[in-house]
Amino acid sequence: MRFTLRVWRQAGPEASGSLVTYEVDDINADTSFLEMMDLLNEQLTTEGVEPIAFDSDCREGICGMCSMVIDGEAHGPLPESATCQVYMRHFRDGDVITVEPFRAAAFPLVRDLIVDRSAFDRIMQAGGYISVHSGPKPEPNSVPIEPETVELALDAASCIGCGACVAACPNASAMLYTAAKVSHLALLPQGQPERYDRVRKMVTQMEKEGFGACRNYGECEAQCPKGISIAFIGQLNRDYVRASLRDPVDRRGKMVPQ
């Protein structure tokens, strides 16, 4: 198969970027999209051109590292797939394919197709955890949990943190990501003690990072490689409202051992 690629090239965050056209030929239909990019990069290296920088690691759709907007869609045309799970058989011979980075103000560009998604980590650091030390813990079967609840929490926890929801959203909102993280813990009994504190802190951090507001476009769910439902955004909003109605006094200062 033969393709014309229009790939975003940008040497660094301050440099100006543009779409550069490349031709690839003789591509086997069973080649994955990233393997096709590897072949292009080998071709470029041989020609003495710097290869295109892009992120990828596990190449089986679970690490969340790969991040390309292919023909205007985060992770390309296939539903519920990461970029690394797209194969050239999903395109037509001779197609012109446009490849861009995940664009968002909160995801500054690093180089070519690589962006900085550390804002996601900072949202997690703001409260995306259950405070617990390592050491002996109670017997887990002493708190039975309905399997339906666990499965729902797992639907949320399946988020791979790739940022496609942000790239897909016209407002570059991170609501789906934050909602998935908040809901995972809010649904489980272990997550109850910090539930409302957590949602408040994570939403505050999300806003600080410069992500846009959610307007219910639903593009995030449509382009999410794990198909995470926007119903979790409803869960986040409910918890957030409850959190703001609660006494916001932080008593933690008094709990530190003297």
In the region spanning residues 10 to 69, those forming contacts with another protein, defined by CB under 8 A, are: 11-12, 27-28, 30-32, 34-36, 38-39, 41-42, 44-46, 48-51, 53, 55-65
Q: Which stretch binds another protein (CB under 8 A): 17-25, 95-103, 184-192, 211-219?
A: 184-192
Q: How far is the CB of 118 from another protein (least distance, A)?
A: 7
Residue 93 engages another protein in binding (rule: CB under 8 A): no
Compare residues 144 and 170 and give the one whose CB is closer to another protein. 144
Residue 121 engages another protein in binding (rule: CB under 8 A): yes
Token code pair at residue 3: 């393709």
Bridging pattern class, strands 114-115 and 69-70: unpaired
Compare residues 169 and 184 and give the one whose CB is closer to another protein. 184
Q: From the CB of residue 177, how many other CB atoms can be counted at a distance below 10 Å?
A: 28
Let me know how many helices (H) and strands (E) the chain has, helices first. Answer: 9, 7
Size of the site for another protein (CB under 8 A): 81
Q: Which of 185, 132, 125 is nearest to 157 (CA)?
A: 185
Residue 75 engages another protein in binding (rule: CB under 8 A): no
Q: Taking a C-beta distance cutoff of 8 angstroms, is the pair 153, 182 a contact?
A: no
Compare residues 124 and 243 and give the one whose CB is closer to another protein. 124
Q: From the CB of residue 194, how many other CB atoms can be counted at a distance below 10 Å?
A: 16
Q: Binders of another protein among 164-183, rule CB under 8 A?
A: none
